[in-house]
Structure 1
């Protein structure tokens, strides 16, 4: 399967996982675990892509490495390198989103207050995580949001 097709499939899978998280309060039973399963499938895909890139000798071609900005730029100068990095982001961001939904539920926070944070986790991973942690801290103090 070519890199473009894998990119499209990974994006579609991640989007399905995010839709499960958005709908999570409607039927808590299986939606968040479903998103977790998608995250695991993305992690497996990432692992296979990474192992394939390393064993094929493509990693390090053209001076690519993780020790300098120029080295990382060289790693991501090929479509396969971008795909590996992108699937990495998709898997981790979805996992963080699922954790936030589960954590909010355990803390008794309304899903409506998690949704804006999920948008930021989806679009800007670490920023969304920081927003959720800040919201969680602030909302936990004010029980009107629980």
Structure 2
């Protein structure tokens, strides 16, 4: 497995998970288990494989900004970091969908938060938490 091959496989896999999360109301029995559990688990396996293959002995580290920059100058460690983002952001998106369903937040209101989570991770999480707070307190959407 090369970093390029892993990139070519994991990107479309993650994107399919996001599409499934966005489409959850259309096929709830399939979309959420697949997009919110199975695909994040596959990405987590890819992360574990990537970390085992490319982090040991890689130059750099996590103890300073300079070392992080050195670590991510190599394709393998950079791919490892990328799969980390893919897996965790998708897990956060899946949590948003589940949490919104449990709290009665309309799915269409969550979709923009999912997009922000896909593109900007923590900004999407913050936007969902703000939406959830407003919805559950009936401040704006009553």
Q: Is the 8 A contact 1:53 1:80 kept in 2?
A: yes
Residue of structure 1 in register with 2:17 after alignment? 17
Q: Is the 8 A contact 1:110 1:145 kept in 2?
A: no
TM-score by length of 2: 0.94
Residue of structure 2 in register with 1:139 after alignment? 135
Runs of 4+ off more than 4 Å: 143-146
* Unpaired runs of at least 5, structure 1: none
What is the CA–CA distance in structure 2 between the aligned matches of 1:111 and 1:54, rounded to whole Å? 39
What is the CA–CA distance in structure 2 between the aligned matches of 1:31 and 1:143, rounded to whole Å? 31
TM-score by length of 1: 0.91
Q: Which of 67, 81, 85 is equivalent to 1:85?
A: 81
Per mean C-alpha deviation after superposition, the further-off stretch among 136-145 and 69-78 is 136-145
RMSD: 1.6
Per mean C-alpha deviation after superposition, the further-off stretch among 46-55 and 95-104 is 46-55
Normalized per residue, the structure richer in helix is 1
Residue of structure 2 in register with 1:33 after alignment? 33
Q: Displacement, 1:144?
A: 8.4
Corresponding residue SS for 2:121: helix
